[in-house]
Amino acid sequence: MNYLPCVEVQLNPQAEVVGSIIWLHGLGADGNDFVPVVRELHLPATLNLRFVFPHAASIPITINNGYVMPAWYDIYEMTLDRKIDTAQLCASAAQVHALIEREIERGVPSEKIVIAGFSQGGAVAYEAALSFTKPLAGLLALSTYFATHETIVENTANKNIPILIQQGSEDSVVSEVLGQRAYRQLTDRGYAVQYESYPMGHTLCGEQVVAISKWLQERF
């Protein structure tokens, strides 16, 4: 099996892993982008989690004049509704499914695996988590949008998955309108969704990281 290359951070390399977080980066970044956040989460030493940060492949991006950069899928138009390559997004979600299965093979139950994603990575995280065939611990959607809400084939295994959406009220890249829209789309389908807004742009802030830490500890 060919897996996406990943950066891995384990809180205590000498102890048994009790859960995993697969965290997807945004457009133009790579798996190293959110590695520093692990330390900032200040998780208890007794909670030995494995953080898996995959690297997306580099592909031409239409909105950037075909410039080749790390991306989970191509974006054709940067309108509010965005026109994207849905097939590429779904292929990326399938690669995330393979990483989930690898964590299960490494001894982590699916119920102890969280899928997280920022921006483009968040759009893939929605598709990957909600279509996965085994129950997951949670879905963390950061500064993102539910790109495949019209095409996704949801799996009942994750009908009760806890979902946390965090969005920046000053985000000029992914408007908060899209985060709010995802919240409505998911609640209308019966998902348990928590929505949080922060006075920030297309990034993370300290208050938000504290909230993520608390949410993760509740999942495990």
User: Among 55, 149, 202, 213, which one carries the catalytic annotation?
Assistant: 202
Type of residue numbered 131: S
Three-state SS annotation for the chain:
CCCCCEEEEECCCCCCCCEEEEEECCCCCCCCCCHHHHHHCCCCCCCCEEEEEECCCEEEEHHHCCEEEECCCCEEECCCCCEECHHHHHHHHHHHHHHHHHHHHCCCCHHHEEEEEECHHHHHHHHHHHHCCCCCCEEEEECCCCCCCCCCCCCHHHCCCCEEEEEECCCCCCCHHHHHHHHHHHHHCCCCEEEEEECCCCCCCHHHHHHHHHHHHHHC
Tell me what pLDDT residue 72 has: 98
Determine whether 131 is an active site residue.
no
- The domain made up of 6-219 has a fold known as Rossmann fold (3.40.50)
Question: Could you tell me the pTM of the whole model?
Answer: 0.96
When the pLDDT of each residue in the chain is averaged and rounded to a whole number, the result is 96
CB 91 within 8 A of CB 120: no
pLDDT tens-digit series, residues 38-76: 999 999 988 999 999 999 999 999 999 999 999 999 999
Tell me what pLDDT residue 55 has: 98
Determine whether 25 is an active site residue.
no
Tell me what pLDDT residue 79 has: 79
Domain boundaries, the chain: 6-219
Q: Dig out the tokens for 124 from the structure.
A: 């893939």
Q: What stretches in the chain show pLDDT beneath 70?
A: none
Determine whether 119 is an active site residue.
yes
Q: Which residue has the tokens 């690669």?
A: 95
User: Among 110, 119, 131, 143, which one carries the catalytic annotation?
Assistant: 119
Q: Phi then psi for 163, rounded to 5 degrees?
A: -120, 130
User: Among 30, 97, 171, 175, which one carries the catalytic annotation?
Assistant: 171
